[in-house]
Chain A
Amino acid sequence: QSVLTQPPSVSAAPGQKVTISCSGSSSNIGNNYVSWYQQLPGTAPKLLIYENNKRPSGIPDRFSGSKSGTSATLGITGLQTGDEADYYCGTWDSSLSALNWVFGGGTKLTVL
Chain B
Amino acid sequence: QVQLVESGGGLVKPGGSLRLSCAASGFTFSDYYMSWIRQAPGKGLEWVSYISSSGSTIYYADSVKGRFTISRDNAKNSLYLQMNSLRAEDTAVYYCASWRRGSYDYWGQGTLVTVSS
Contact = CB atoms under 8 A, between A and B. Distances in A.
A51 B101 contact: yes
Nearest to B110: A44
Contacts of B62: 96, 98, 100
B50 A101 contact: yes
A99 interface: yes
Interface string B26-47: 0000000001010000001111
Contacts, number: 62
A101 B47 contact: yes
A81 B45 CA distance: 23
Given A2-B44, A39-B45, A51-B101, 13 more contacts: A33-B103, A37-B45, A44-B95, A44-B110, A47-B103, A50-B101, A54-B101, A56-B105, A100-B61, A101-B47, A103-B46, A103-B47, A106-B44
List 10 tightest A-B contacts by C-beta distance, closest first: A35-B103, A50-B103, A33-B102, A101-B47, A106-B44, A103-B45, A44-B107, A47-B105, A50-B101, A105-B44
